[in-house]
Amino acid sequence: MPLARQQLAQAGIGAERLVFVDDAPGPAQVNGQRLLSYAGFLAEPARARHAVLAIAQGAVRETLAQRCARDGVQPWTVAAASVVRMDEVQLGEGAILSPFVTLTSNIRIGRHFHANISSYVEHDCVIGNFVTFAPGVHCNGNVIIEDHAYVGAGAVIKQGQPGKPLVIGRGAVVGMGAVVTKSVPPGATVVGNPARAMG
pLDDT digit string, tens, across residues 73-106: 999 999 999 999 999 999 999 999 999 999 999 9
Domain spans of the chain?
Answer: 2-75, 78-189
Choice among 20-29, 126-135, 158-167, 175-184 with the minimum mean pLDDT: 20-29
User: Percentage of residues in the chain with pLDDT exceeding 70?
Assistant: 99
Which positions are annotated as active-site residues? 123
**pLDDT recorded at residue 199:** 66
Mind listing the pLDDT tens digit for each residue in 1-33?
A: 999 999 988 888 888 889 999 999 889 999 999
- Residues 17 and 33: beta-carbon distance below 8 Å: no
- CATH (one of 3.40.50.20, 1.10.286.10, 3.40.30.10, 3.40.50.300) for 2-75: 3.40.50.20
Q: What is the pLDDT of residue 160?
A: 97
Residue with more model confidence, 14 or 133? 133
CATH superfamily ID and name for 78-189: Hexapeptide repeat proteins (2.160.10.10)
**Taking the model in full, what pTM does it have?**
0.94
Helix (H, G, I), strand (E, B), or coil: what is residue 153? coil
| Of residues 199 and 2, more confidently modeled | 2
CA-to-CA separations, 47 to 43, 73, 78, 108, 199, in angstroms, rounded? 12, 11, 20, 32, 51
Measured distance CA(92)–CA(46) in Å, rounded: 25
